[in-house]
Structure 1
């Protein structure tokens, strides 16, 4: 199941028509995951509208499912480049009432990530496959699912903090393709704000030190470039105005020490000059921020001659 588009709040009536799209037995082997995503989007939009006092609870075409969510765990940060899918696992606990059959083939639950507010998310991300749940008691199950992130689904402005949520839907034997489909017998539950993660534009950093070798006491010029994923143009572009540390590690040691801090220019370029004293490795190091992960360039060895 994959949610790719920004979700806007809709009325219960519109949600009714959208929810009727899925094929029968939404959680069975014949599940059409895209249709399950449509069902969730419709239900989420109506729930968000109700929470924002734009729609009365009585307007919801389904009933409130006796399911709650807790103990959600997600990675602290997700680095997303320009082309490859990035997947991460989310686990959570689902608690349910005695009248809820979470083992039914037409019971669905899944985690998701959303950017922005719960009521008006700017984007939502879910997984390509349905999660798995292990029932641990008469009222509790532990669930595990994946979030699959595709760079083409993101805008550069989507980088930063995302929130995590989970949802569940019970069709209770109702067939959405049937003329007798009764949506009032379908249950839905959802909870946002269960956790946070950073979806970041992956970064790259280079270092080149010259001349090689260099005479002791003479200057070494260290250049480099800091770039990060541009999701909209499918390329890595220079990251300007960022403070980057120039570091040095003496040959035969393991620790880098900061020599100075320089800022990237308009194209992400870096340039600094230092005096050479002993053989060693020069590198640039970027501490990262909410939108862009930290990165260290590979060290570049410069030998010093007398």
Structure 2
């Protein structure tokens, strides 16, 4: 049997509550289905990775269900596993609509690193899944796990290029800083050792090209020196890894004389 907690917060809250079994839902034995009920589609966060900063964010799970009778209840989970270790989950009853054979059920979970058991180790795509359990009024039942999007730490990236204006053929210096939401401390902290691309778009700008790739230092700073050739826009682009949000900095226009 599967146990599903009846409170919103993650495993830290569960561990703090004496007698976990008393605060849990005991589901029927998991099975493919009984009757003609089917869960045909499950979408987490519109199909896009969840990007989370240091404040609360809503994450919606939507399930499309085929069933010829009314639904009795629909439970939804979002979970993150590391092997057999369940490191995080949220759980709730869903709200459903539709009077025909096709029903749409959804619930918006609140992810809040200030109060929930959300830590940097949860970032990434590995181990995330959605669990949906459905019972209908005519006794049909289905429960299953479904693929989920990942969770990414929100990032920030600055750009400053100079001098302004700059003489043609002389050195132009671009600098910036890369930082990310740190869920362990609920602060913004620098990202070290990350590859960031310096990109340029000649005026009038129709598309950026990568001029150089640099690595952030231990304090998240980055710097590159290039030769000024023509008026144009300069920016940084961070393609990111699976645990961080890709980020484009502000564009800085440089007048070359």
Partner of 1:235: 187
Cα deviation per residue 1:198-218 (whole Å; 9 max; x = unaligned)?
111001111111111111111
Instruction: Answer whether contact 1:126 1:148 (CA < 8 A) is retained.
Output: no
CA 1:117–1:187 in 2, change beyond 3 Å: closer, same or farther? Answer: farther
Instruction: Answer whether contact 1:7 1:120 (CA < 8 A) is retained.
Output: no
1:280-295 pair list within 5 angstroms: 280-295=232-247
Partner of 1:222: 174
Please say if 1:6 is aligned against 2:14.
no
Query: Partner of 1:157: helix, strand, or coil?
Result: helix
1:41-120 pair list within 5 angstroms: 43=26, 69-74=39-44, 75-83=47-55, 85-95=56-66, 102=71, 107-116=72-81, 120=85
Structure with higher strand content: 2
Cα deviation per residue 1:175-226 (whole Å; 9 max; x = unaligned)?
xxxxxxxxxxx9986322x122011100111111111111111101111011
Structure 1 residue 95 displacement after superposition: 4.8
Structure 1 residue 169 displacement after superposition: 6.3
Structure 1 residue 164 displacement after superposition: 1.3
CA 1:300–1:2 in 2, change beyond 3 Å: closer, same or farther? Answer: farther
Query: Partner of 2:148: helix, strand, or coil?
Result: strand
TM-score by length of 2: 0.80
Query: Partner of 2:250: helix, strand, or coil?
Result: coil
Cα deviation per residue 1:102-154 (whole Å; 9 max; x = unaligned)?
2xxxx431322111159642001346x842232422xx533222232112321
Cα deviation per residue 1:209-251 (whole Å; 9 max; x = unaligned)?
1111111111011110111110121111111111110011112
* Alignment partners' CA distance in 1, 2:48 and 2:243: 13
Give the length in aligned residue pairs: 239
Mark the runs of 5 or more structure 2 residues left unpaired by the alignment.
1-5
Cα deviation per residue 1:38-97 (whole Å; 9 max; x = unaligned)?
434xx36x96xxx8xxxxxxxxxxxx98765331122221110012x2223322133558
* Alignment partners' CA distance in 1, 2:189 and 2:13: 31
* Alignment partners' CA distance in 2, 1:123 and 1:252: 49
* Alignment partners' CA distance in 2, 1:212 and 1:2: 56
Partner of 2:109: 147
Query: Partner of 2:218: helix, strand, or coil?
Result: coil
Structure 1 residue corresponding to 2:225, chosen from 265, 273, 277:
273
TM-score by length of 1: 0.68
* Alignment partners' CA distance in 2, 1:8 and 1:95: 34
Q: Greater Rg, structure 1 or structure 2?
A: 1
* Alignment partners' CA distance in 1, 2:233 and 2:164: 12
Partner of 2:3: none
Structure with higher helix content: 1
Please say if 1:190 is aligned against 2:111.
no
Please say if 1:166 is aligned against 2:137.
no
1:26-45 pair list within 5 angstroms: 38-40=23-25, 43=26
Deviates more, 1:144-153 or 1:212-221: 144-153
Instruction: Answer whether contact 1:248 1:283 (CA < 8 A) is retained.
Output: yes
Query: Partner of 1:215: helix, strand, or coil?
Result: coil
CA 1:304–1:7 in 2, change beyond 3 Å: closer, same or farther? Answer: closer
Instruction: Answer whether contact 2:159 2:250 (CA < 8 A) is retained.
Output: yes
